[in-house]
Structure 1
Amino acid sequence: MSGDEEVSVPNRRVECGTRGVLNVVGVHLYAEDSRGRVLLGLRHPDSPYAPSTHHFLAGHCEQESAVACLVREAREEAGLVIHPDDVEFVHALHLPGAPGTCPRMQMVFRARRWTGTPEVLEPDKCLGWGWWHPHDLPDPTVDYTRAAIRAIQIGHLYTEFGWT
């Protein structure tokens, strides 16, 4: 995107400034079971991002708040029902993105409570869900997922990851 181009958004126009670069907003679920293990999914081998790698349950905001996106993605991807009042922000990662893509602001939210047992509802995206101890994550796990889990464990709220 160059200069003063407009981005088409349903029912709205967003104008980008001459030096502006849009950042994609992603949301991620940090869920711990009663044993302190974190929920991660094994991404499908045909996934365009991080194939055959473990990652948070995640998605991109689509004309909705970050918490509404998290609640929607948890239901759509894993059948988990989370009430917005049971969600708290725990970490943000700012990533430059791969060459030719927009930078990303990844927001991680802890669900204090939920109903349901994680199940694979989008088999073209996720092969399975598992619970992992934060200090013994499976290989491979997305690098920024590992970084976020470490930061959450020590109470850090923000990480810049991959910027030079």
Structure 2
Amino acid sequence: MAERFKLIPAVHLFFVQGESVLLLRRANTGYEDGNYSVVAGHIDGEEAVIQAAIREAREEAGVEIQPDDVQVVGVMHRLSNEERVDFFVEIKRWTGQVRNMEPDKCDDLSWFAWSDLPDNLVPYIKRALNNYRAGQWFDSVGFDGEIW
């Protein structure tokens, strides 16, 4: 019997504080280094989206979040080198001071005003942030030769 097709799931955290969003600049990862993204990571096997968000907040930003403070605000099905499904969550409350817990993978962790986001955003993250601001909950990108 053929093995079933598998997707790679990830969770991306939109830390929102007033009119600002938390972004990190990737470094030494081999993927989109020098470009800004958000706190994110793969969802481990047998791990719920909310649990993954809580874990990533702790691992990458050094803060604790409660399940009730994680709001799923978007899903993206995308095709690039691999086919993936990304979950985007909004975080407006946390405990602790946001800090760069992975300086070997991130050389800047800063708040940016929504009106002044950097030009060098990872393309699908830029699209997801725009979707979030527009209230668009689902997106599918990279299929049928679509360039994003």
What's the TM-score once normalised by structure 1's chain length?
Answer: 0.82
Question: How much has 1:94 moved relative to structure 2?
Answer: 1.0
Query: In 1, Cα distance between the equivalents of 2:107 and 2:12?
Result: 18
Other structure's SS at 1:82 match: coil
Query: In 2, Cα distance between the equivalents of 1:163 and 1:116?
Result: 40
**Match of 1:68?**
51
**Match of 1:29?**
13
Query: In 2, Cα distance between the equivalents of 1:27 and 1:159?
Result: 15
**Match of 1:108?**
88
Show structure 1 runs of 5+ residues with no match.
6-15
Question: How much has 1:67 moved relative to structure 2?
Answer: 0.7
Query: In 2, Cα distance between the equivalents of 1:106 and 1:75?
Result: 19
Whether the aligned pair in 2 keeps the contact of 1:93 and 1:106 (CA below 8 Å) is yes
Question: How much has 1:134 moved relative to structure 2?
Answer: 2.2
Whether the aligned pair in 1 keeps the contact of 2:70 and 2:90 (CA below 8 Å) is yes
Number of equivalences: 143
**Match of 1:12?**
none
1:159 is aligned to 2:142: no
Whether the aligned pair in 2 keeps the contact of 1:42 and 1:129 (CA below 8 Å) is yes
Taking only the aligned residue pairs, the percentage that are identical comes to 34
Q: Let me know the Cα RMSD of the aligned residues.
A: 1.3
Whether the aligned pair in 1 keeps the contact of 2:9 and 2:86 (CA below 8 Å) is yes
Whether the aligned pair in 1 keeps the contact of 2:9 and 2:85 (CA below 8 Å) is yes
Question: How much has 1:117 moved relative to structure 2?
Answer: 2.2
Whether the aligned pair in 2 keeps the contact of 1:134 and 1:150 (CA below 8 Å) is no
**Match of 1:42?**
25
Question: How much has 1:149 moved relative to structure 2?
Answer: 1.0
Whether the aligned pair in 2 keeps the contact of 1:134 and 1:149 (CA below 8 Å) is no
Query: In 1, Cα distance between the equivalents of 2:17 and 2:138?
Result: 24
Larger Rg: 1
Offset from partner CA, 1:8-42 (integer Å, 9 cap, x none): xxxxxxxx2xxxx21111100011112x1111101
**Match of 1:122?**
102
Question: How much has 1:138 moved relative to structure 2?
Answer: 0.9
TM alignment of 1:139-154, pairs within 5 A? 139-154=119-134
What's the TM-score once normalised by structure 2's chain length?
Answer: 0.91
Whether the aligned pair in 1 keeps the contact of 2:63 and 2:97 (CA below 8 Å) is yes
Whether the aligned pair in 2 keeps the contact of 1:39 and 1:129 (CA below 8 Å) is yes
Other structure's SS at 2:17 match: coil
